[in-house]
Structure 1
Amino acid sequence: MQQQKYKTINTATELDNKNFEEIKLKTLFRPLFHISPPHGLLNDPNGFCYFNNQYHLFYQWFPFDTYHGMKHWMHLSSNDLLTWSEHGSKITPLESYESHGAYSGGAVVENDRSYLFYTGNVKRGDERDANQCLAILDKNNQVTKHALNPVIESVPQGYTGHVRDPKIVKRGSHYFMLLGAQREADLSGEIIVYQSPDLLDWEFKGTLDIQVNGDFLDAYMYECPDLLEVDGHDVLIFSPQGVTADGTRFHNKFNVIYCLGQVNFEQLTFTVSHWDELDRGFDFYAPQTMANAPEKQTLIAWAGTDEHLPSEQQGWINCLTLTRELTVENNRLIQRPNIINSDSLIKQHGYQLNHQGVELESLSFSLEVNNLSNEKNITISLQTQSGKELTLTINNNTITLDRALYDHHTQDWEYGNKRQHQTDYDINNIHFICDQSIIEIYINDGRDVFTCLFFPEQENHQLTISTEKGADLDTQLTYLTI
């Protein structure tokens, strides 16, 4: 295993390639319109950008198996953010400055190029080091590593080798690089900042001081920092590791938060007006927003973090979420799935579903439930005759998502297979999007979102809606395919 863990795709044998082709043909659990790997392991989305009149996306990829091995960057492109073309590994870790993997990073689009920044992971025995590296995506979809790599060698004094995931933003005439980091002194997480006039010559500026009234987060690592502007607000997103649960929040092994506020790079501060979890479900991590977005700011994330899932028996593991448009409304970050406006999905057999169960023809479907103002108690249930069941329950303003009967990975979940959230608003609508083995649930047009993996047996599923008062609901069930 150790020898294969650090294999790169260019060393694949004829037997490897035969195995890859066999895995691609397996359809069990594989989503139709969520990105999944052709074979092997997928994790963080990277280099997400709009460039050369197309959307481009990369993701962390270990081609040979379903554990975390040598990370490559798989390249995808799209015209609609829903149907994607694969272009294979475009950053393969072959150089000494990335000897143990090309880790995550983001893109900057300028001068007819997309500049892809990533972390070169290096291990020397038990010691870890990190280099920040640059590659260029050109108009021919070719990616070339920069001759001056690494553009930042090693880590600043006072930090462990856990410094990674560069995000580049431009303010005025300067570029700023945000990196997730861990301090040596107390092994706690923070975000550090470098500054550059030209994307090549970087100067360490220091720690980003996240200024919050009241308590904030203690974590041993901040991963995947992201900074963007949405509707006049600066939005800071990052993935803290080792956060202590707070009420019903932070019940996952790894969590994601967003902060609304204002950044000041001269003072290295981010003044927070509001912060919270970004997703209330189980399977959401390492989100990245699109560089050079032509319209609304857009986000995508890794749906995963489990070490083992049933799909590994098929030769692949993990997928990405749908892309989500971001807005700020009433000082809250709102996420809406781009699928709503897509012309790429074929919609079949749309009909009303009200106070009755239906035998599902497919597990790729959209269920919309609107006008809930007269009904404060509702349960949506996805179930099988063998006893598998997943339920979404609204009880007044309490939302509960329960997948306990899909017990495929309970060992990874300290807080069990139920997630709950008490809203500070009346719930008016639910959009429930299912795609074979992943469900995304959008409450009140994306005010709150729950992401959930589940792995159904090969048996018929029934979808039911029940209410306490029997109020007439405005529902629409639609089957979806590419």
Structure 2
Amino acid sequence: MGEFGWMNDPNGFVPYRGNYHLFYQHYPYLPTWGPMHWGHAVSRDLIKWTYLPIALAPGESYDSGGCFSGSAIEKDGALYLMYTGHVVTGPDSSKDYWQTQNLAVSEDGVFFRKYEGNPVIGLPQIPAGASLKDFRDPKVFERDGSYYVVIGSNDGQGNGQILLYRSADLTDWTFIGIMAKSGGEMGNNWECPDFFSIGETDFLMFSPQRMPPQGRDYGNLHSTLYMRGRWDERSGEFHSVGYAPMDQGFDFYAPQSTLDERGRRIVIGWMDMWESEMPTQQGHQWAGAMTLPREMIVLGGQVRFRPVAEIENYRGERFELRDLALEGETIVETAGDSYELEAVFDAGDAARFGLKLRVGGGEETVLSYSQPEGVFALDRNRSGIGPGGVRETAIPLRDGKLMLRVFVDRSSLEVFLQDGEKVMTARIYPGSGSLGIAAFSDGKSRLASLRKWDIH
């Protein structure tokens, strides 16, 4: 979370000089969206963060309306930020604007100066047919001695797309081509693109705006997905063999990844959603948070997401039970508002089973599995003062078992299903006294094991 005020997209997620650096879209004066700054924090272990001074603030002719999202890369020992400069050009700020790509550089990773040659990618370099306004969120990477950047855009006809540029020095850029484009089914603008490889597989991650639902997937106003396939470096095209959601819950958007010094591909996302109620804006003076950092791996050809191992160093008091027969509802003899929980259910002949978390005063957040449908659900309709709703995702049992790893905090919930085959994230705002945990089963099932650690 930010120290105060508003936070959205993670930016410039990068390891540099022994620390992980995370920048973020930030309005430091009020808990509402305003002219965007870049907040900045550093961590040695991805869990405990220290705030640094604001890295970027609007004020130049090319970013007077805000320093929008971007990324970071190390070059010759210095840390470079590449970001979108936003300029409002008329009375309607939602329609009258243009955007360019700009650089800032730091020799110490703390204080940044904007490059005197900004913008480095401007309106003349936008290809014919692409939107002249929606041109943002550069993610820069290096491949075979050249720098590349992917930029979110659309074709002005209701189809999102990603543009690709190349440079030898981060300052002079050449348009290569359209890396990927919607065929009409994947939203009308693509934001926050990210390109990376895991092993032999190339991935393109981005956030399509206003993507229509596809079955139980993509139920939010805006979504986030990954494509997997192969990138053709000569043509610049990404040849996709399929795509899937990054998260099946309510609140996960604009993620950014980094490759750390241990070779892990780590992803962190904004744990909120545009045009969604944010109760902390009134009385608490903050809005927005980041998810736990997640390692993205490919195991047996399947993509999985796991919370970074460093979180286990923060485990406190442990509670454990085993082989509990379930029929009806059973109160678990532990409670809390900040903990990690691992549960393994043996489904038996139960039609539906699961957990109720943050229970008390008529409040509860329900995690349930329907065995006839093969569907897991996250229900926050009674989770407190925030927005309600239900999100569902199909996921098969493994040998009749369901494995959950859940992280509960005072205003959030992150659920990893079947060792990270899928993840569901939600903001919840229960009362401070809603601390209980219960297991339930419609029919007979067993809670094979439950382990809970308070997180300090």
Q: Same fold by TM-score, threshold 0.5 exceeded?
A: yes
Give the match's secondary structure for 1:311: helix
In 1, Cα distance between equivalents of 2:241 and 2:175: 27
> After superposition, where does 1:67-466 map in structure 2 within 5 Å?
67-125=32-90, 126=92, 127-139=96-108, 141-154=110-123, 156=126, 157-158=128-129, 159-184=131-156, 186-209=157-180, 217-291=185-259, 293-307=261-275, 308-313=277-282, 314-338=284-308, 340-342=309-311, 344-352=313-321, 354=324, 356-358=330-332, 361-370=335-344, 372=346, 377-396=352-371, 397-406=374-383, 408-410=385-387, 417-424=389-396, 426=398, 427-466=401-440
Unaligned runs of 5+ in 1: 1-35, 411-415
- What displacement does 1:299 show? 0.4
SS of 1:150's equivalent? coil
Give the conservation status (yes or no) of the 8 Å contact 2:319–2:334.
no
Identity %: 29
Alignment partner, residue 7 of structure 2: 42
More strand by share: 2
Structure 1 residue identity aligned to 2:170: L
Residue type at the aligned position of 1:192: L
- Which amino acid letter does the alignment assign opposite residue 379 of structure 1? G
Segment of structure 1 superposing worse, 392-401 or 420-429: 420-429
CA offsets per residue over residues 291-321 of structure 1, 9 Å max, x none? Answer: 5543311000000024431111200011000
Offset from partner CA, 1:213-234 (integer Å, 9 cap, x none): xx77331110000011112211
Q: 1:84 to 1:344 in 2, by over 3 A?
A: farther
Which of 65-74 and 401-410 deviates more? 401-410
CA–CA separation in structure 1 for the residues paired with 2:253 and 2:109: 31
Separation of aligned partners in 1, 2:332 and 2:423 = 25
Count of residue correspondences: 436
CA, structure 1 residues 428+231, in 2 after alignment: closer, same or farther (shift >3 Å)?
farther
Provide closer, same or farther for how the CA distance between residues 430 and 163 of structure 1 changes in structure 2, counting only shifts above 3 A.
same
Aligned-partner Cα distance in 1 for 2:258–2:49: 15
Tell me how far apart the structure 1 counterparts of residues 406 and 148 of structure 2 sit (CA, whole Å): 38
Query: CA shift at 1:56, angstroms?
Result: 0.5
Code of the aligned partner of 2:431:
E
| Deviation of 1:61 (Å) | 0.4
CA distance in 1, matches of 2:395, 2:345: 17
SS in 1 for 2:381: coil
The one-letter code sitting in structure 1 at the alignment partner of 2:377 is: T
Question: Which has the larger helix fraction?
Answer: 1
Query: Could you list the per-position Cα deviations for residues 230-275 of structure 1 after superposition, in whole angstroms to 9, with x for gaps in the alignment?
Result: 1221111000001111111111011001111111131222112231
Q: d(CA) in 1 for partners of 2:84 and 2:370?
A: 45
Mapped partners of 1:209, 1:461: distance in 2: 46
TM-score (norm 2): 0.90
Secondary structure of 2:62's counterpart equals: helix
SS of the aligned residue for 1:282 comes to coil
Distance 1:385 1:205 in 2: 57
Q: SS of 1:342's equivalent?
A: helix
Letter of the aligned partner of 2:331 in structure 1? Answer: G
Residue pair 1:47, 1:57 contacting (<8 A) in 2 also? yes
In structure 2, list runs of 5 or more residues that go unmatched: none
Q: Match of 1:88, as an amino acid? A: P
Shift of 1:332: 2.8
Q: Normalising by the residue count of structure 1, what TM-score does the alignment of the two structures yield?
A: 0.85
Structure 1 residues 46 and 331 mapped into 2: Cα distance closer, same or farther (>3 Å)?
Answer: same
> What is the Cα-based RMSD across aligned positions, in Å?
2.1
CA distance in 2, matches of 1:221, 1:256: 12
